[in-house]
Amino acid sequence: MGLLSDPVRRRALARLVLRLNAPLCVLSYVAGIAWFLALVFPPLTQRTYMSENAMGSTMVEEQFAGGDRARAFARDFAAHRKKSGALPVAWLERTMRSVGLEVYTQSFSRKLPFPDETHERYMVSGTNVYGILRAPRAASTESLVLTVPCGSDSTNSQAVGLLLALAAHFRGQIYWAKDIVFLVTEHDLLGTEAWLEAYHDVNVTGMQSSPLQGRAGAIQAAVALELSSDVVTSLDVAVEGLNGQLPNLDLLNLFQTFCQKGGLLCTLQGKLQPEDWTSLDGPLQGLQTLLLMVLRQASGRPHGSHGLFLRYRVEALTLRGINSFRQYKYDLVAVGKALEGMFRKLNHLLERLHQSFFLYLLPGLSRFVSIGLYMPAVGFLLLVLGLKALELWMQLHEAGMGLEEPGGAPGPSVPLPPSQGVGLASLVAPLLISQAMGLALYVLPVLGQHVATQHFPVAEAEAVVLTLLAIYAAGLALPHNTHRVVSAQAPDRGWMALKLVALIYLALQLGCIALTNFSLGFLLATTMVPTAALAKPHGPRTLYAALLVLTSPAATLLGSLFLWRELQEAPLSLAEGWQLFLAALAQGVLEHHTYGALLFPLLSLGLYPCWLLFWNVLFWK
């Protein structure tokens, strides 16, 4: 305490912090990036292991042999679907009843906020069909779900056939202690969301649906299945859910265990697992997989029907059958045995999956990085904002006290007259206008789409995207607007105080985002932190302005799309990247209003106004 109470020592500490601030910021940023890159190396990445004792062994004998029956079901389903042009509800009801299930249907409808040009739909209506296999050895208090999403543009007939064949096989077994729900949904995620809302008796998205006539117990786990061929070369697993949620790691370990038992090739992010983690090739391949997971998790999109189950505290994942040019191929029997083994082990659960991790990163299916090991990466990046905020606070404090350094060499702080004060009016105006721009970015695109289509020759979806871009670009004029209402008193201390508030605001936002969605927080911190620290109205203003634009939230999204396709070994041209960027903007707004994805409100109401504050600091007069 003597160091802080003694004016001479406090002044010496302030000079030390100001002198070393820049190298400390550079060192902290480099340490954050280096820590993230080091996550793929064995000292930080760990082998996966089963934490739940009830699922610790694969000593079950899979007896599924209904491959021919599954293919017959798939052919009949495809024929009836082609004939009717929609989900063959009547055929599904008859078939499910014939295998001994309790069969129910649910109708739903949803008017989207604007037309979805990706799937070519606006007024959506459909029917879900589900059958319940009651547990013969227990009351209907718990259940498992096997679901197959059927969209208008997807070919998932083999998955429906395998679902029906598994239902027939499961019906002949007597060891089930949990109800099993076999669910076929129409319109992909919309049907899944309608069924989940009705099952849990909530309405969080404005979906219009009929109440469910039949229910099972509380859902413990769910598996979504997507197959487009009678044979597969590998099974790819998707874990990223809505708003970056992840299933319990034990469920993923269970899938990998039964794939290994049955000799099935399993992949993550479409990438094979590295075989040798001791050489450099293994970690480099793991880094590609890790970056793909970070980009997909940061998007906040549910990458499969399982992503909507996670919101209701149901552990779920999506399995996709891949039929590529690999040498070894597996039929529906091998896939069915893997699913049978998973459901039999889940049938042993005495409580919800909770022993293993819910927050993790995956450089491979056999390796994971826990939250305690990857959070320091974003912590080092946020330390830069703290150091810059401390520097500004000390400069303001020293200038306000009017201290003169004895002996004379001026410190790094800007010399300011002691009589000047920082008026609140100089901060209120930029803060209010920046937040108002963010609110306009969030509200106006959807509300003003009809006005835009009346005055311009564009469709509703194009109007929403163009309005987004127009409001976003209009924020560049913000400094000219705020300087008309900002007090002329103490202009130098005004921008310093505004930057101090903006740094604290940005650090709090990125910290909160990283706690719930590390991938999104880390990506935003990687791009926004350096320019936030550099922004000031002195020096090469044109260079700082270019860096601010290139690291804005929209530019981060555009760069992430290029990086994602590059990692998938399908690089984009500039024109293709721009078109994909516009489609991503429309999908982001649509998924927020349809499923409750939070990326759009986070960027428009939080990060964009904060970015405008730094833009205002840069052009402070």
Q: What is the pLDDT of residues 519-545, one digit of tens each?
A: 999 999 999 999 999 988 888 888 999
- For residue 271, the 8-state DSSP code is B
3-state helix, strand, coil in the chain (%, to 5): 55, 15, 30
Confirm whether 480 is domain-assigned: yes
Euclidean distance between CA atoms 316 and 303, whole angstroms = 12
Measured CA to CA in angstroms, residue 433 lies from 325, 484, 485, 555, 583 at distances of 56, 12, 11, 22, 29
- For residue 156, the 8-state DSSP code is -
* pLDDT at residue 599, rounded to an integer: 94
Q: What are phi and psi of 363, to 5 degrees?
A: -80, -10
Of 292, 311, 298, whose CA–CA distance to 222 is shortest?
311
**Residue that finishes a domain, picked among 314, 339, 356:** 356
Confirm whether 610 is domain-assigned: yes
The tally of domains found in the chain comes to: 2
Residue 35, Cβ neighbours under 10 Å: how many? 19
**Residue that finishes a domain, picked among 356, 375, 395:** 356
Q: In terms of domains, do 188 and 322 share one?
A: yes
- Go through 577-614 and write b for each residue having 16 or more CB atoms within 10 A of its CB, e for each that does not: beebbbebbbbbbbbbebbbbbbbebbbebbbbbbbbb
Confirm whether 1 is domain-assigned: no
- What are 403's two structure tokens? 């201290």
* pLDDT at residue 340, rounded to an integer: 93
Confirm whether 287 is domain-assigned: no
Confirm whether 147 is domain-assigned: yes
> What amino acid occupies position 327?
Q
Specify whether the CB–CB gap between 148 and 160 falls below 8 A.
yes
* 193: exposed, middle or buried (Cβ count in 10 Å: 0-12, 13-18, 19+): buried
**Residue that finishes a domain, picked among 340, 356, 372:** 356
Q: In terms of domains, do 326 and 442 share one?
A: no
Specify whether the CB–CB gap between 140 and 220 falls below 8 A.
no
Q: In terms of domains, do 434 and 564 share one?
A: yes
- Give me the torsion for CA of 538, 18, 553, 429, rounded to 10°: -60
Tracing tokens 């590998």 back to the chain, one arrives at 234
Euclidean distance between CA atoms 498 and 46, whole angstroms = 44
Q: In terms of domains, do 320 and 445 share one?
A: no
Residue 343, Cβ neighbours under 10 Å: how many? 20
Euclidean distance between CA atoms 6 and 12, whole angstroms = 10
Q: In terms of domains, do 493 and 344 share one?
A: no
Give Cα 251 to chain centroid, integer Å. 19
End-to-end, the C-alpha distance of the chain in Å comes to 39
- Give me the torsion for CA of 539, 543, 546, 550, rounded to 10°: -100
- What are 122's two structure tokens? 């606006």
Euclidean distance between CA atoms 318 and 235, whole angstroms = 10
- What are 138's two structure tokens? 């227990």
- Give me the torsion for CA of 393, 397, 403, 407, rounded to 10°: -10
Euclidean distance between CA atoms 269 and 290, whole angstroms = 9
Specify whether the CB–CB gap between 586 and 465 falls below 8 A.
yes
Of 61, 59, 70, 58, whose CA–CA distance to 333 is shortest?
70
Measured CA to CA in angstroms, residue 443 lies from 457, 458, 605 at distances of 22, 19, 10
Specify whether the CB–CB gap between 385 and 502 falls below 8 A.
no
Query: What range does the domain containing 547 cover?
Result: 424-619
Confirm whether 209 is domain-assigned: yes
* 117: exposed, middle or buried (Cβ count in 10 Å: 0-12, 13-18, 19+): middle
Q: In terms of domains, do 106 and 254 share one?
A: yes
Q: In terms of domains, do 342 and 457 share one?
A: no
- HEC profile for 74-135? HHHHHHHHHHHCCCCHHHHHHHHHHCCCEEEEEEEEEEEEEEECCCCEEEEEEEEEEEEECC
- HSE of 60, CA atoms in CB hemisphere, 13 A: 24
Q: In terms of domains, do 86 and 170 share one?
A: yes
Q: How many residues does the chain have?
A: 621
Q: In terms of domains, do 73 and 177 share one?
A: yes
Arithmetic mean of pLDDT over the chain: 86
Of 570, 380, 585, 332, whose CA–CA distance to 472 is shortest?
585
Strand residues in 294-345 grouped as ranges (E): 315-322
- pTM beyond 0.85, yes or no: yes
Q: Which domain CATH number covers 178?
A: 3.40.630.10
Q: In terms of domains, do 328 and 444 share one?
A: no
Of 482, 372, 359, 370, whose CA–CA distance to 427 is shortest?
482
For the chain, which ranges sit under pLDDT 70?
Answer: 1-7, 10, 56-58, 153-154, 398-425, 479-492
Measured CA to CA in angstroms, residue 285 lies from 76, 523, 529 at distances of 42, 20, 28
Give ∠ CA 472-478-479 in degrees, rounded to 5: 145
Confirm whether 235 is domain-assigned: yes
Q: In terms of domains, do 337 and 453 share one?
A: no
Q: What are phi and psi of 193, to 5 degrees?
A: -65, -40
Confirm whether 8 is domain-assigned: no
Task: Decide: helix, strand or coil at residue 368.
Answer: strand
Q: In terms of domains, do 205 and 310 share one?
A: yes
